[in-house]
Amino acid sequence: MNFIIEQDKLSQLLDAASLAIPTRPTDPILGAILLVADAETQTLSATSFNLSLGIHSKTKANIKISGVAALPGKLLADTIGYLKGELCFELEERTCIISHSSGKRRIQSFNPSEFPQLPTGGDRSITLPVKKFLAAIRATLFATSKDETRPVITGVNFKFERDRWQAGATDSHRLALVSAAFDADMAENIEFTVSYKNLQEIEKILSTKSENSTCTLYFNSNFVEFNLPNTRITSRLLEGEFPKLDSLIPTSFQHEFYVDKAALETGLKRVATLAEKKSKTVKTIWDVNNQQLTLYTESTDVGNAIESLIIKANSTSNEQLGIGFNLTYLAEAVKYVTTDEIVIKSNGASRPAIVCPVGGILNQLTLVMPVLISSGYEIDKPANTNTTPASNPAEVAQTQSSKNVESPEVTETVAQIESEPSSETSETAQTTKAKRNRQSKPKAAVTV
């Protein structure tokens, strides 16, 4: 093996391959990057494979003598990362000698024949635009479960039908689903699930490719292969049947609230500092008459926060609607929408809500289960003689001095929701202590 290559071209190749290198490889060879230099095609390739994810990238190089070396991957990528200019690689038996303008490295190669064969994805193929495929991964990845006891839902499920394809994920408290039209000559529907761990790395590689390029997927029952310009990624598939997500999405909604994405994101961040640390609940109060959304959080013995935003509401009733959410789940559903405007659809305080972009390149939604807000926060509050009653939201609203929150409607909204008897009366029977200590998971899980 003998070749010359520019440092930046090689670094790109090695950075991609490094994504499939485990931190602590079970076998040293799985920590290696396989370099293959081909004098005939003047091509250098770098391959890594941790038995679940495989990455194979190639680039043009000045190859004088063909050859193969399996070098310690992270070490090689780090070493090359610090160099500059033209690099010369030579192989002497199992020693790779790398020379550059002011120095030289010798790195021992593993036995390249021990490097595991990268599986191929099979014969069946589908082609997608990189732009849409990348958007689909980003719109679903965050909603995957991180609980390894039920492996299949730690992945994103992909489905391809004759006229549409979709990607979906759920951690049983929320679900994310995207779909797009499709025109493929397929003999049968195709479905597979890829783990979030592999998709995280695949997302990184996709984001380095031109948005106008395409990705061709080949798959069999165990592996899927993603073919990109100069890069081929192979991922093992997760076994098991993925829950049917489509049936969980309500088909019609009583309320649709349009809101500016950036304003809602900022509003949620602002009230988050005063949400109860463990439960992280936010109360959202949708005021159809005044076209206003109020966000309310409260932390026992510490204080509370209230923020108001302008909305555009389409609703079957003019009543104010109060819905409790896990703040993190709602904030993530908003974060992964890429359009300027968002629509939140609901059928009431105890029914799942969905967060969708207005426009965008995919049909996208995140379903978030509401959290019980019962008949208000202060019912849970123990008598505390050391603190003044700071956390009565009605009082907050009454003492408002700043303009936007001054409207009596906000006062009414808050007061009404606080005093409204909860529809979930069983919940209010719980002890104060138990309620304060519990994680505020959605009261009804997505049944998957």
In the complex, the residues that contact a copy of itself under the rule CB under 8 A are 72, 75, 78-79, 82-83, 88, 92-97, 99-108, 111, 266-267, 269-271, 273-274, 301-309, 386-388, 390-391, 396, 399-405
Nearer to a copy of itself, 132 or 280 (CB): 280
Which runs of consecutive H residues, i.e. helices, occur in 140-210? 196-206
Nearer to a copy of itself, 72 or 155 (CB): 72
Nearer to a copy of itself, 195 or 292 (CB): 292
Nearer to a copy of itself, 94 or 433 (CB): 94
- What's the min distance (Å) between Cβ of 310 and a copy of itself? 9
DSSP-assigned letter for residue 243: P
Gap between the Cα atoms of 64 and 88, Å rounded: 10
Strand pairing of 103-108 and 190-195?
Answer: unpaired
- What's the min distance (Å) between Cβ of 353 and a copy of itself? 22
Gap between the Cα atoms of 275 and 254, Å rounded: 28
- What's the min distance (Å) between Cβ of 397 and a copy of itself? 8
Gap between the Cα atoms of 344 and 364, Å rounded: 12
Taking the CB of residue 394, how many other CB atoms lie within 10 A of it? 18
Nearer to a copy of itself, 94 or 438 (CB): 94
Gap between the Cα atoms of 433 and 441, Å rounded: 16
- What's the min distance (Å) between Cβ of 172 and a copy of itself? 30
Strand ranges for 339-447 from DSSP E: 341-346, 353-357, 363-368
Query: At which residue do the structure tokens 């610090």 appear?
Result: 82
Nearer to a copy of itself, 103 or 421 (CB): 103
Cβ pair 159, 435 in contact under 8 A: no
Contact partners, residue 183, CB within 8 Å, separation at least 6: 163
Nearer to a copy of itself, 267 or 370 (CB): 267
Nearer to a copy of itself, 93 or 188 (CB): 93
Gap between the Cα atoms of 376 and 393, Å rounded: 9
Region for 360 from its dihedrals, namely left if φ exceeds 0, alpha if ψ lies in -120 to 50, beta otherwise: left
Gap between the Cα atoms of 287 and 320, Å rounded: 5
- What's the min distance (Å) between Cβ of 6 and a copy of itself? 15
- What's the min distance (Å) between Cβ of 79 and a copy of itself? 4
Taking the CB of residue 263, how many other CB atoms lie within 10 A of it? 15
Nearer to a copy of itself, 184 or 272 (CB): 272
Query: At which residue do the structure tokens 């079957």 appear?
Result: 316
- What's the min distance (Å) between Cβ of 86 and a copy of itself? 9
H/E element holding 99? strand 95-100
